[in-house]
């Protein structure tokens, strides 16, 4: 494998990463919507928002066009087929989606989108902290939209497990690796591994983030 | 009536459609906010978000400027007057808005915005599936914003009646009619009729969308 | 003090106002997130959304780049430090944030963002009503995002105290003062004073906005 791609190959690699991340998040949205017993349209919309929301917000903020789902419009058909297929399959098999089942594609998507978003922002000449933030937004915003539409407090902010923090550290890994003149491809793989890996460790170990502890949060 | 308008007339027709749709959605937002007993400002904001939200998101995604409410800033005054008038009238007459009363302007706005959004995206050279999606976004997002701000699960995704599906079919009607070389004006009218008509049928017949049915949605 | 700054000084003044407003809103977001017992990341995100949300939406709507937090990326570090510092301090001192404590920075931020947003939109040649609306959006949207993410009905729309109305009147004060050929600096100060002052009066006196009063809001 060539670890130092030229601009054209890098663009191809980033598209491949975004495709995979989109698929992973679509699955996670599918499961979340099913658990809320939304109807067929709701399932499709929530899966779509989760899959495309982060990348679209990144592109709006960076003023980048066309969007991923405009340039690769076929992905919209894939999403539609996936939703219809999953609903038919679930109904036939009397299977029920579990919360746990959604966590693994979600962790994978987290790492992929972090690396992808951070790299794209760096390519546009953003300062390192802004690039890392763009990576976090790409990785986290889809899930936040999913939770807002399902009328939950976004789990990224409230479940007390590291989530955005994994994206944050993954983004800095990419920035650091590139600063150390590591080959581009290796830096991306490293960033994905750090973000997804840390999230996996967090899920496996029940490590929790520090929480605000005041005397009486309901007092006035 | 001239069914094949030139570019200038088409732009005029689209503006007229957007004005009518804006008015219809403002009414529906007004009723929803009143039912939640929001204060005067809340009523005005919810009516405004419902009316202008869909078109504004469409324009942000398509990178189109100026927005409808910047080019036609007088509509902001109309909205303000409408809210104040409705609140004064309601208070005087001890009338109460009903849920059912909001559904008809909503169905009309749905059809109008679907045709308008799909046509505008086609004019910008978007692929058919993206244009239909833009039509759906224009038609549905205002109501989604209304429900998010009122802290409900958006009814477009969860009430199990076809809503976004009507916009989806209306958008494809427009795409199909234009592909069959139908005159522009006729295609728009047809798309509006399909989307609004299907929504009307859905409301009248209690037809429901397939829902996700697993074994135990709360199990883990 | 020079009340009629040239373009360069005006830009500097607007940046200073935006910095101060950002800080004020970050504090208010910090308190709100703490009261909801979000974790460290949630506190940081909510503080950030509250601080940067309004200005970012204004810039997306006006198609202005770079964003405040891209041009002044160091503010992201300030926000991070502020959150970590506040959490450490709160935990050490067993202090608890009160709702009332959040209201004063919030009122200050309201006035500052109103003047800033209205002025920036006027500079871009927007009509007066649109400029005032942009001022309101800048001032109010951060708090709305904060409440949506915390899963509340946005208090700006439902607490029955004037909030957006203060921004509305502050914005018109700026437009009016400039129409009367008042010096630029004086007009900005006046607008800030009106918006923040009115909000202060509203908090002190429990003045409430008219609310929708129908016969039976839950009837159908």
Question: pLDDT digits over C176-196, tens only?
Answer: 999 999 999 999 999 999 999
Mutation target for C interface from A157, A162, A211: give the one with most C CBs within 10 A. A157
- pLDDT score of B31: 83
Contact at CB, B148 and A150, closer than 8 angstroms: no
User: Which partners does chain B have (≥3 C-beta pairs < 8 Å)?
Assistant: A, C
How many Å separate Cα C34 from the centre of its chain?
A: 19
Q: Are A163 and A155 in contact (CB under 8 A)?
A: yes
CA C64 to chain B, closest CA, distance in angstroms equals 12
Instruction: Give CA–CA dist B113/A155, Å, rounded.
Output: 33
Whether A146 shows a pLDDT value over 60: the answer reads yes
Nearest CB neighbour to B96, from listed C148, C162, C214:
C214
Is the CB of residue A196 less than 8 Å from the CB of residue A111?
yes
pLDDT at C100 over 80: no
**Quick one: closest CA in C to A57, which residue?**
C60
Instruction: Report how far Cα C65 is from the mean position of its chain's Cα atoms.
Output: 20
Residues whose CB falls within 8 Å of the CB of residue A16, separated by 6 or more in sequence, listed in order: none
Which residue is associated with the tokens 């729309």? C157
Of chain A, the percentage scoring pLDDT greater than 70 comes to: 85
Q: What are the chain B neighbours of C148 within 8 Å (beta carbons)?
A: 148-149
Is residue B97's pLDDT more than 70? no
Nearest to B39 among C127, C211, C215 (CB): C211
Rounded mean pLDDT of A62-87?
Answer: 90
Lowest-pLDDT choice from A147-151, A161-165, B68-72, C200-204: A147-151
CA distance A210 to chain C (A): 6
Q: Does residue C22 sit within a domain?
A: yes
- CB proximity C70 to A under 8 Å: yes
State the pLDDT at residue B41.
81
Query: Where is pLDDT greater, at B217 or A210?
Result: A210
Inter-chain residue contact B215 with A76, CB threshold 8 Å: no
Question: Which of chain C's residues have a Cβ under 8 Å away from the Cβ of B33?
Answer: 212
Task: Tell me whether the omega of the peptide bond preceding residue B66 falls within 30 degrees of 0, making it cis.
Answer: yes
Q: Which residues on chain B are in Cβ contact (under 8 Å) with C147? A: none
A211 SS3 class: strand
For residue B54, what pLDDT is reported? 94
The reply to whether residue A130 touches residue C73, judged by beta carbons under 8 angstroms, is: yes
- Using the predicted structure, report yes or no on whether residue B7 has a pLDDT greater than 70: yes
Domain membership of residue B89 as a residue range: 7-205
Is residue A216's pLDDT more than 60? no
Convert the pLDDT of each residue in C5-39 to its tens digit.
777 788 888 999 999 999 999 988 888 887 777 77
| A213 shares contact with chain C (CB less than 8 Å) | yes
**Least CB–CB distance from B148: residue in A73, A87, A148:** A148
CB pairs < 8 Å spanning B and C: 92
Contact between chains at C217 and B69 (C-beta distance less than 8 A): no
Q: Is B215 among the domain residues?
A: no
Q: What is the count of structural domains for chain B?
A: 1
Q: CA of A209 to nearest chain B CA: how many angstroms apart? A: 23
Q: Are C143 and C50 in contact (CB under 8 A)?
A: yes
CB contacts of B68 in chain C (<8 Å) are none
Residue B72 included in any domain: yes
Written in H, E and C, the secondary structure of chain B is CCCCCCHHHHHHHHHHHHHHHHHHHHHHHHHHHHHCCCEHHHHHHHHHHHHHHHHHHHHHHHCCCCCHHHHCCHHHHHHHHHHHHHHHHHHHHCCCCCHHHHHHHHHHHHHHHHHHHHHHHHHCCCCHHHHHHHHHHHHHHHHHHHHHHCCCCCHHHHCCCCCHHHHHHHHHHHHHHHHCCCCHHHHHHHHHHHHHHHHHHHHHHCCCCCECCCCCCCCC
Provide CB contacts within 8 A for A73, sequence distance 6+. B127, B129, B130
* CB within 8 Å: B148 and C144: no
Q: Do B214 and A96 touch (CB under 8 A)?
A: yes
Which one-letter DSSP state was computed for residue A97? -
ipTM rounded to 2 decimals = 0.83
Most confident of A100-104, A214-218, B41-45, B57-61: B57-61
- Bridge partners of residue C39, in order along the sequence: A211
Interchain CB distance below 8 Å, A39 and B210: yes
The C-alpha angle with vertex A162 and arms to A156 and A165, in degrees rounded to 5, equals 90
Residues of B in contact with C162 (CB under 8 A): 41
A50 within 8 A of A29, measured Cβ to Cβ: yes
Among A200, A27, A31, A43, which Cα is nearest to B219's?
Answer: A31
Q: What CA dihedral angle connects B28, C117, C23 and C148, to 10 degrees?
A: 10
Average pLDDT taken over every residue of chain A: 85
Contact residues, chain B, for A43 at CB < 8 Å? 212
Of residues B217, B214, C147, the one with CA closest to residue A88: B214
Helix axes A74-93, B128-149, angle to 10 degrees: 60
Q: Cβ of A135 under 8 Å from any chain C Cβ? A: no
Are the CB atoms for B207 and A40 separated by under 8 Å?
no
Q: Which residues of B touch C130 (CB under 8 A)?
A: 69-70, 73, 76
Domain assignment of residue B212, yes or no? no
Separation CA B157–CA C187 (nearest Å): 47
Angstrom distance (rounded) from CA A64 to CA B25: 31
Has residue C97 been placed in a domain? yes
* DSSP string covering chain C: --SS--HHHHHHHHHHHHHHHHHHHHHHHHHHHHHTT-BHHHHHHHHHHHHHHHHHHHHHHHT--S-HHHHTTHHHHHHHHHHHHHHHHHHHHT----HHHHHHHHHHHHHHHHHHHHHHHHHTT--HHHHHHHHHHHHHHHHHHHHHHTTS--HHHHSSS-SHHHHHHHHHHHHHHHHTT--HHHHHHHHHHHHHHHHHHHHHHT----B---S-TT--
| Residue A79 belongs to some domain of the structure | yes
DSSP symbol at A26:
H
Please tell me the distance in Å from C208's CA to the nearest CA on chain A. Answer: 20
Asked, for residue B127, whether it belongs to a domain, the answer is: yes
| Rounded average pLDDT over C205-217 | 62
């Amino acid at each position: 494998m060539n670890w130092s791609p030229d601009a054209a190959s890098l663009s191809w690699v980033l598209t491949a990463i975004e495709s995979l991340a989109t698929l992973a998040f679509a699955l996670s949205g599918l499961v979340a919507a099913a658990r809320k017993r939304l109807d067929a349209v709701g399932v499709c919309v929530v899966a779509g928002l989760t899959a495309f929301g982060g990348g679209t917000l990144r592109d709006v903020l960076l003023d980048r066009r066309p969007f991923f789902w405009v340039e690769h419009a076929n992905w919209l058909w894939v999403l539609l087929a996936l939703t219809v297929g999953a609903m038919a399959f679930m109904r036939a098999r009397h299977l029920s989606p579990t919360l746990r089942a959604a966590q693994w594609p979600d962790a994978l998507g987290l790492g992929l989108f972090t690396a992808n978003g951070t790299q794209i922002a760096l390519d546009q000449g953003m300062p390192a902290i802004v690039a890392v933030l763009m990576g976090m937004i790409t990785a986290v915003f889809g899930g936040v939209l999913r939770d807002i539409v399902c009328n939950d407090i976004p789990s990224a902010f409230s479940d007390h497990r590291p989530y955005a923090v994994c994206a944050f550290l993954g983004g800095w890994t990419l920035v650091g690796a590139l600063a150390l003149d590591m080959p581009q491809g290796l830096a991306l793989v490293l960033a994905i591994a750090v973000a997804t890996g840390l999230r996996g460790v967090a899920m496996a170990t029940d490590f929790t983030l520090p929480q605000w502890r005041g005397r009486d949060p309901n007092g006035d």
